[in-house]
Amino acid sequence: MMRQYELVERVQRYKPQVNEALLNKAYVYAMKKHGGQTRASGDPYFSHPLEVAAILTDMHMDESTIAVALLHDTIEDTSATKVEIEDLFGEDTARLVEGLTKLKRLDLVSKKAAQAENLRKLLLAISEDVRVLLVKLADRLHNMRTLDFMREDKRARIAEETMDIYAPLAGRMGMQDMRDELEELSFKHINPEAYGTVSDRLAQIANRHAGLLEEITATLRGLLADNGIHADVASRRKKAWSVFKKMESKGLSFEQLSDIFGFRIIVGSIDECYRALGVVHREWKMVPGRFKDYISTPKQNDYRSIHTTIVGPSKQRVELQIRTWHMHEVAEYGVAAHAIYKDHGAAGGEGKPNGKAGGTAAFKDTNAYAWLRRTIESLSEGDHPEQFLEHTKLELFQDQVFCFTPKGRLIALPRGAIPVDFAYAVHTDVGDSCVGAKINGRIMPLVTQLQNGDEVEIIRSGSASPPAAWEALVKTGKARAAIRRATRAAVRKQYSGLGHRILERAFERAGRPFSRDILTDGLGRLAHTDVEDVLAAVGRGELASAHVIKAVFPDFQDEKLSTPASAELLGEGWFNLTDASGMMFRFPGDVPAGAAANGDGHAGAGAGDSDRTLPIRGAAGDLPVRFSPEGAVPGDRIVGISTPGKGITIYPIQSPALAAYDDQPDRWIDVRWDIDEANRTRFPAQIIVTAINAPGSLAEIAQVIARNDANIHTLAMVRTAPDFTEMIFDLEVWDIRHLTRLLGQLRESDAVSTADRVNG
C-alpha cells in the first residue's frame, strides 16, 4: 500500500509547489475513518481510495482533486459527515465528496427507466463539476482492476455497466487511455473465452513481429531526424476488445486485419506535424482513403492528430498517428489534460509538458465539456427517461463524420447520419421545417447518408412538420427526440381540432354558447389544466361531450333519449340514431319514436344534417381519421367508430366488422363525405378478383386498372388452383362511380372470371 510521503512525491513530480498539508491531512483522516474495514480481496479498505488517488496522479490532477479521491467513500462507508469534512477541508471539497456519495448509491444496471433516471443524476452531478467524473471514473477503474474478487454474477453486472456507460463516457470526454482499459477489463469478464482467444493471438503476432516493429521504429526516427525533425516514435498494439469489435462488425479474420500495429510520432509543434507527414509521404506511398486530418478538424472530444496509412519499408501497411505533445496529453487524458496547460505558455498547445502546471482546469472551455452541457440541456426537454437513455447512448457511441453548412460551420454527426440529422444539429426549428436538402450543390433524397466533407444546405418550408416515419431513419438522439415531440404535438393538435368540432356541435344541440374561454370555467371540474387538454381528451374519446357541457353549465340536463333525434336506416333492420348530445346509437327494428324518415324510405337527420355530422375529406386532413381495411369511397354510406387514442376509423355501412361494435354505442360517430372538388384525392377500396391461371393474366388485369386511372397499392394472392387464382387488390379510386366502372371493365376482361368488391 502506498505510503503518505509516496503520494506527495507523485504529485510533486508534475507540481513542485504542492499543498502537502492538504494531502497529508486527507490521507490521515481517510485512513482513520476506514480503520479496520476490508475489501472482498481481504486488503484494507483504505487501499481503494489510495489507489483511486494514485490513478488521478497519473492524470496529473491537482491536490484538491487528489484529496477528494482519498475522501470519496468516507461519508458513504464511515461515520464521517459532510459538515465534518466541510470544517476540515472546506466547502468545495465537502460538496464534491457528497456528490460522489450520491453517485455511489446509484445502481445503473436495473430496470431500464431507473437506469435512465440514474444516468440523468450522474450527468447532472458531472455538469456541476467535471472533477466528479474524473474521480468517479478512477473509482470505477480500480474496481474493475480488482473485480476478480467479486461473485461471478456481480462481476458480469458491473462489467456490463462499465462497457455500457462508463467506458464510452470516458471516451466522449477524450480520456482514451482510460476508455481502452475499462473496455479491456469489461471484455475480460463479459466474454472471457473470446478475450482469452484474441489476447493469445495478439501475443503470438507481437512475438513474431517484434524485430520488424523495432526496425520500422528506427527507420522512422532516422528519416525524420535526417530532415531536421526531432520526434519520439513508438509502436503500439491494438487492444483485444478493439480487435474483436472490428472482426465482429466487419466479418474479418485475423489475417485480414491490417492495423493491429500502429506507430505514434510525437513532435514539438503543429508545423512539425505537417512536415513529418510530408517526409513520410515522400518516402512511402500512402494508402488511398486512409488519411484523416483531425488537427484542422478536431473531434468533438478535442482529439487532434493526423492519421495516415502507408505501404512501409517491408511492403506491409503501416498505420501512423502524428501529433504534438499537447495533443498527446489530451488524447490520453481528455478533459483532465487541460489542467496541465491552463496557466502556461502551452496554451497554443505545443511543446513537451514541463510539469509546472496546477490549479483548477479550464474544463468548461473544452469541446468535450460543451458536449456534456448540450446533453444536460436535453434534460429540460421533458423526454421520457428511456428516451433520454437512448439519446445519450446514441451520443456516447457515435463514430463521426464531419459536414459543413453553406457558411462553413462544421457539424459533427454519427456515421450513417442523413440530412435530417444535419438539420436538427443546426437547430430544432430547422429540422422541424426541413423538406429537402442539397448536398454539395445537388438536390438529394433526405435518406442519403452523409460523407466526410459534404456541404449540406437544408431546404425549409414554413408549413412543414416532420413525419413520424423519420424517427426510424435518423441516427442522432437529438433528431429522434425532436421528431417524437413534433409528432406528439401534431397528434395532440389533430385530436384538439376533432374535439373542438365535436363540442361545437354538442353545445349547439344543447342550446348553449360555445367558446374556448367558456371551457376555462369548467377546467377544475374536468380535472384538466388547460383547454387544449380538454379538447384533445374529447377528440380521443376519453371525455364525453355531455360531461363537458355539464362542467361548464351545471344546470344542464342531459335528455338524450327524450330529445328528438335523427335516425338513418342501415339495412337488415338496423338504424343509426344521432341524439341531442351528438352521440350515435344503433338500434334494431323500427325507427325509434321521434326520428324522421326520408322520402326514400330511409331515416335521416333532415335539413340540419350537415351541421350534425363530422365532415370527412380523407385520411390526410386535419382530423385523426383512418379507413377500415376494406376501405370506403365517396358515394358509400359511412359510419365512424371512435377508438380512444387512435381517432376515428371510417367503415362502409355494409362492413361486417361493424357488428363487433353493436354493444358499444358510445363509440359510433355520425360522419359524412365533404369532398373538395378543387383538391380531389383518391380513397381506399379493396376488390377480390378471380383470374384465369394463365401467363399474362396479371399483366392484363393491371392494364385494365391503369387504363381506368386507378392505383394499385398492394396485391395479395389469396388462393391458387390449377385453373384459377384469387387475388385481393388494395386500390385507390376517386369515388363509387369510378370503382363501379372499373369492376365492370374487369369483368369484361378475358383474363377475369369474377371481380367484386370485398364486403360489397
pLDDT, one tens digit per residue, over 109-163 is 444 555 555 566 666 666 667 788 889 899 999 999 999 988 888 888 889 888 8
**Residue whose C-alpha cell is 495516415:** 308
Q: How far apart are CA 156 and CA 45, in angstroms?
A: 22
Q: Are residues 177 and 297 in the same domain?
A: no
Whether residue 298 lies inside any domain: the answer is yes
Q: Are residues 260 and 320 in the same domain?
A: yes
Q: Are residues 692 and 743 in the same domain?
A: yes
User: What's the average model confidence in pLDDT over 472-481?
Assistant: 85
Q: Are residues 152 and 33 in the same domain?
A: yes
The CATH number of the domain holding residue 299 is 3.30.460.10
Q: Which of 43, 58, 77, 504 does the annotation list as catalytic?
A: 77
Angle (deg, nearest 10), helices 20-34 and 82-89: 150
The three-state secondary structure class of 568 is strand
pLDDT, tens digit (0-9, with 9 covering 90-100), for 621-648: 556 788 898 899 988 888 888 887 677 8
Q: Are residues 212 and 270 in the same domain?
A: yes
Query: Is 530 assigned a catalytic role?
Result: no
Query: Is 386 assigned a catalytic role?
Result: no
Whether 269 and 304 have beta carbons less than 8 Å apart is answered as: no
Instruction: Answer with the one of 149, 168, 195 that is the final residue of a domain.
Output: 195
Instruction: Answer with the one of 164, 195, 226 that is the final residue of a domain.
Output: 195
Which grid cell sits at 25? 491531512
Q: How far apart are CA 391 and CA 375, in angstroms?
A: 9
The overall average pLDDT reported for the chain is 78
Give me the domain span that covers residue 721. Answer: 682-757
Whether residue 537 lies inside any domain: the answer is no
**Number of domain units in the chain:** 3
pLDDT, tens digit (0-9, with 9 covering 90-100), for 204-261: 888 887 888 888 889 999 999 999 999 999 988 888 888 888 787 777 777 667 667 8
Q: Are residues 150 and 175 in the same domain?
A: yes
Using pLDDT thresholds of 50, 70 and 90, give the confidence band for residue 376: low
Whether residue 186 lies inside any domain: the answer is yes
For 357-377, the DSSP string reads --S---GGGSHHHHHHHHHHH
Instruction: Answer with the one of 319, 336, 360 that is the final residue of a domain.
Output: 360
Which grid cell sits at 14? 508534475
Q: Are residues 98 and 210 in the same domain?
A: no
Beta strands at 625-627 and 647-652: parallel, antiparallel or unpaired = parallel
Neighbours of 469 (CB within 10 A): 9
Which grid cell sits at 460? 425549409
Question: Which candidate, 742, 734, 501, places its Cα nearest to that of 631?
Answer: 734
Q: How far apart are CA 390 and CA 396, in angstroms?
A: 10
* Length in residues, the chain: 760
Q: Are residues 188 and 98 in the same domain?
A: yes
Whether residue 113 lies inside any domain: the answer is yes
Q: Are residues 128 and 155 in the same domain?
A: yes
Q: Are residues 228 and 114 in the same domain?
A: no
Q: How far apart are CA 604 and CA 623, in angstroms?
A: 24
Is residue 336 predicted with pLDDT exceeding 50?
yes
Q: How far apart are CA 700 and CA 172, in angstroms?
A: 60
User: What's the average model confidence in pLDDT over 67-88?
Assistant: 90
Whether residue 149 lies inside any domain: the answer is yes
- The pTM score is 0.55
Residue 116 CB partners (closer than 8 Å, separation 6+): 385, 386, 388, 389
The three-state secondary structure class of 473 is coil
The CATH number of the domain holding residue 703 is 3.30.70.260
Whether residue 499 lies inside any domain: the answer is no
Whether residue 168 lies inside any domain: the answer is yes
The pLDDT of residue 332: 81
Q: Are residues 279 and 343 in the same domain?
A: yes
Q: Which of 76, 98, 184, 215 does the annotation list as catalytic?
A: 76
The CATH number of the domain holding residue 91 is 1.10.3210.10
Whether residue 127 lies inside any domain: the answer is yes
Max Cα distance, the chain (Å) = 108
Q: How far apart are CA 751 and CA 724, in angstroms?
A: 10
Q: Are residues 134 and 73 in the same domain?
A: yes
Question: Which candidate, 742, 602, 127, 713, places its Cα nearest to that of 376?
Answer: 127
